[in-house]
């Protein structure tokens, strides 16, 4: 399974368009009632969640593996996100009362040993009386149904992530080619494929429509700035795991972590351990 390091680095200049989608402002605001300072955001990216919780009066730190994300957090928000590996964090035992592993961290990983290492390390730096939340990305049920229809989410729980980005690109640059891809992937006729493309642009939930618009804006900006904007697509992971509630419970059981609570939102599942 293709790694994600080059993906985050390449998308860092354009991540402001995409960062508020899975575990974003709306969900962290709802989670805030159960958060206690001091807080650590693991996979803080460009500091969206750190900034939002700081606005609410929490003492918050953030850590992220990608140095470009750290640079942009400083540039955009004036935040000093720590550049470091979630499997070996530079914090003492019991440093935080609440730790949040953001979406784009363990949910993007298929290797269970890596996931266990990240969660164990997060538990180490979190006080024994504190709370650890782990985020898993998901799509709105309407979007999930569509992605399964065109085989972008497979029956065995893989998300063809790079292919999805490529289809997003085609829908902007070459919509007729995008329709042909939908035809082939879903094994349907031209007009049915055209209808699916129209629905994907017009009849999705509000948040998804906004995300599609923002992605298009990011892509258009990239095409003006980069000699080879398609690199943004090529460096995306070919596959990501796509875990529903059942798969998440199975994962934590296999790793011997007890789930205290699970909250399922339209675009994110939050597990408290």
Task: Indicate if the pLDDT at residue 264 is higher than 80.
Answer: yes
The answer to whether 37 and 134 have CB atoms below 8 angstroms apart is: no
* Cα pseudo-dihedral 128, 62, 101, 265, rounded to 10: 120
Residues 226 and 258 in one domain: no
* Rg of the chain taking only CA atoms, in angstroms: 19
Edge-to-edge strands, sheet with 96-101: 82-83, 60-64, 39-42, 96-101, 126-137, 268-272, 261-264
Q: Are residues 252 and 227 in the same domain?
A: no
Q: What distance in Å separates the CA atoms of residue 179 and residue 102, rounded to the nearest whole number?
A: 34
| pLDDT (tens digit per residue) in 14-43 | 999 999 999 999 999 999 999 999 999 999
- Picking from 240, 92, 90, the residue whose alpha carbon sits closest to that of residue 154 is 240
Position 62 confidence tier, pLDDT thresholds 50, 70, 90? very high
Task: Verify that 79 and 148 share a domain, yes or no.
Answer: no
182 and 120: one domain?
no
If DSSP codes are grouped into helix, strand and coil, which group holds residue 19? Answer: coil
- Answer yes or no: do 259 and 131 share one domain: yes
CA dihedral 141→144→148→153, nearest 10 degrees, is -140
Same domain flag for 79 and 115 = yes
Full residue range of the structural domain in which residue 165 is found: 141-240
Q: Are 126 and 96 in contact (CB under 8 A)?
A: yes
Region 58-81 average pLDDT: 98
CA distance linking residue 215 with residue 229, whole number of Å: 13
Residue 194: the pLDDT is: 85
What is the number of structural domains in the chain? 2
Looking at residue 72, which CATH number applies to its domain?
Answer: 3.40.50.150
For residues 194 and 149, membership in a common domain is answered with yes
Q: Look at residue 113 and give its three-state secondary structure.
A: helix
Asked if 30 and 97 sit in the same domain, the reply is yes
**Helix ranges restricted to H, the chain:** 5-11, 25-31, 48-55, 67-77, 112-125, 141-149, 161-173, 175-186, 190-202, 206-225, 231-234, 245-254
**pLDDT of amino acid 221:** 97
Mean of pLDDT values over 243-267: 97
What band does 193 get if pLDDT is binned at 50, 70 and 90? confident
DSSP string, 126-160: EEEEEEEEEEEE---HHHHHHHHHTTSB-TTSEE-
- Within this chain, do residues 114 and 37 fall inside the same structural domain, yes or no? yes
Whether residues 185 and 226 fall in one domain:
yes
pTM: 0.94
Judged against a pLDDT cut of 70, whether residue 1 lies above it is answered with no
Specify the range with the lowest mean pLDDT, choosing from 58-62, 97-101, 192-196, 233-237: 192-196
Mark whether 81 and 204 lie in a shared domain. no
Predicted pLDDT at 142: 86
| pLDDT tens digits along 118-176 | 999 999 999 999 999 999 999 999 889 889 989 999 999 999 999 999 999 999 999 99
Q: Are residues 129 and 250 in the same domain?
A: yes
What angle is formed at CA 15 by the lines to CA 242 and CA 146, rounded to 5 degrees?
35
In the prediction, which pLDDT does 3 show?
Answer: 57
How many residues appear in the chain?
273
Instruction: For 70-126, write each residue's pLDDT tens digit.
Output: 999 999 999 999 999 999 999 999 999 999 999 999 999 999 999 999 999 999 999
């Amino acid at each position: 399974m293709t790694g994600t390091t080059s993906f985050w680095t390449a998308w860092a200049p354009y991540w402001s368009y995409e960062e508020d989608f899975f575990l974003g402002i709306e969900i962290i605001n709802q989670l805030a009632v159960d958060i206690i300072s001091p807080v650590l955001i693991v996979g803080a990216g460009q500091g969206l969640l750190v900034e939002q919780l700081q606005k609410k009066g929490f003492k918050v730190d953030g850590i992220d593996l990608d140095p470009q994300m750290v640079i942009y957090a400083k540039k955009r928000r004036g935040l000093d996100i720590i550049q470091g590996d979630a499997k070996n964090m530079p914090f003492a035992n019991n440093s935080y009362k609440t730790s949040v592993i953001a979406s784009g961290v363990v949910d993007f990983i298929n290797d269970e040993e890596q996931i266990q290492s990240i969660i164990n390390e997060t538990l180490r730096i979190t006080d024994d009386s504190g709370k650890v939340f782990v985020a898993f990305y998901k799509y709105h049920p309407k979007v999930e149904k569509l992605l399964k229809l065109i085989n972008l989410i497979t029956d065995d729980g893989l998300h063809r992530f790079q292919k999805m980005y490529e289809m997003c690109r085609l829908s902007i640059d070459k919509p007729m080619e995008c329709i042909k891809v939908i035809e082939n992937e879903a094994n349907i006729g031209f007009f049915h494929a055209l209808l699916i493309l129209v629905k994907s642009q017009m009849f999705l939930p509000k948040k998804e429509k906004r995300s599609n618009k923002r992605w298009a804006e990011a892509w258009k900006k990239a095409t003006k700035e980069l000699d080879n904007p398609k690199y943004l697509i090529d460096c995306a992971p070919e596959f990501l795991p796509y875990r529903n509630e059942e798969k998440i419970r199975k994962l934590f059981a296999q790793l011997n972590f007890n789930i205290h609570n699970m909250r399922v939102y339209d675009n994110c599942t939050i597990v408290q351990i």
